[in-house]
Structure 1
Amino acid sequence: MNDGRLPLHRVRASDAEREATLEHLATAFVEGRLRQDEYELRVGLALRSVFVGDLEVLTDDLPARPERVPAPELPPVAEESGSRWQAPALSVSWSEWTDEWRWWAGIAVVLTTVWAVVSAMSGELVPYWPLVPLGIWAAVLLASAIWPSEGEPPPG
């Protein structure tokens, strides 16, 4: 009885299927179902697996994973005239935003070092010129976190 589909041991595995298997193994390890050496062996095999059947063998002796249920959507918050101020939602992810600020801090250190060397060589403190580029960059970072990248800022 061949309906034109290949058996699972001959169907190539996708990255998403490998990732799902890795999550399943991690859950089993955290629950104490696998020893560390078993877990590490299976993770290595999962990463090198080519076929779906190879992935299934790695989790056959583990309980089935429950399907992920999407989080329910929260109802919109009614706006009241006297309500407390709420911070706007960031239009960029938290990790992207912190990465941008790390770059800003690194450049701030470099520019401040250049300013200090110039001040030392001239024998007097020169005006702190890094404030201008760093201030503009910081303002852009804050604005990009508040307003979406496309279109105009929301009306105030």
Structure 2
Amino acid sequence: MTESDSGSMRASDADREAIAQRLRAGLDEGRLSIVEYDERLRQAYASTTFSQLEPLVADLPEPVPAKPSAETVKRERDKRKVVKEWRDWASVTFILVAIWGVTSIASGGPLFFWPMFPMGIWAAVNLASMISGGGGHKKCKESDSDH
């Protein structure tokens, strides 16, 4: 489809709603008067093609996506860290159990399940880190002379 054909393509309800949101942002930013906003909004909901929608926002800037807050970024980083820790734990657990299985088969019977020690200790550390908020790397703010 050529670019000239895209204007004659029929617009969906979602397309009209996206234009309405851009118009609302223009009103909120003071770029449109209430009368102009109302007129354009009516035209947006009455539009059937992209060629009817595009002129309604042609003089408005593209919306800028909102930046996530510092707290949201930190929460996502902490979440990725926890997922990575448990993924690493599962990978090593798989390897340890495989080694235990192979040695048990080679010896002709099940051996003592020694992988439970590293698995259990690592899982306990992961759980403690999750419960405590995963601080681990926080630095003491007091000066060394106060200790």
Structure with bigger helix share is: 2
TM-score (norm 2): 0.45
Task: Work out which structure has the larger RCO, using CA pairs closer than 8 Å and 6 or more positions apart in sequence.
Answer: 1
* Structure index of larger Rg: 2
* TM-score between both structures, scaled by the size of structure 1: 0.43
